[in-house]
Amino acid sequence: MRVHGDIRITRSSNVILEKDYSNYRDPLLADFSNICGYCGKHISVAKKGFEIDHFVPISTDETRICDYNNLVMSCFTCNRKKGPKWPTEDKELCHDGFHGFVDPATDEFDTHLGRDLNGAIEHYTDVGDYMCGVFKFSIRPTDIVWKSMELVKRKKQLYNIRKNSKLDNDEKELFIEIQEELDRLLEYLLGEGE
């Protein structure tokens, strides 16, 4: 299974050039479908919000500070874990086959990282192993976050069913009970989150 599930991240090519990279927040959220490019967490379950990461760090290539194709929508945790790391030290080389990073908006990302049957992020290559180590995926609740996101999707589906059908009083009461139970379960699963 893919880290991003059924979402395909692609950067728009018609973005207006900005002088301040923070002005790209809305287009990036749209291009990244409101998920973290690195761990796939949806913004709706992110306790600490989302930030803009410079894929090639500013400290490695300051000329790309406002290059839209160098920006990644990232959860707070992934952005802090990656920080200015760039092990190849070559701004043109994102990895050497063993160490480095893969742009989540490329197809190559899926060859290095994925999810196991429980939703935990796993690696398939040495580069994926390096990324898992940097992002600390093995000690973060990536499986719980994934399951929570799946619950949120199902909750929306349930709401749409309710919205598009007429329920009698007993069915309405059952619907409300299910919604409340899902809310409690999500709160439990996410807890303090990350």
Which of the four pLDDT bands, split at 50, 70 and 90, describes residue 156?
confident
- CB of 105 closer than 8 Å to CB of 37: yes
Segment 173-189 shows an average pLDDT of 77
Say what the pTM is: 0.86
**For the ranges 9-13, 42-46, 98-102, which has the lowest average pLDDT?**
42-46
- Tens-place pLDDT, residues 112-129: 999 999 999 999 999 999
55-112 pLDDT, tens per residue? 999 999 999 999 999 999 999 999 999 999 999 999 999 999 999 999 999 999 999 9
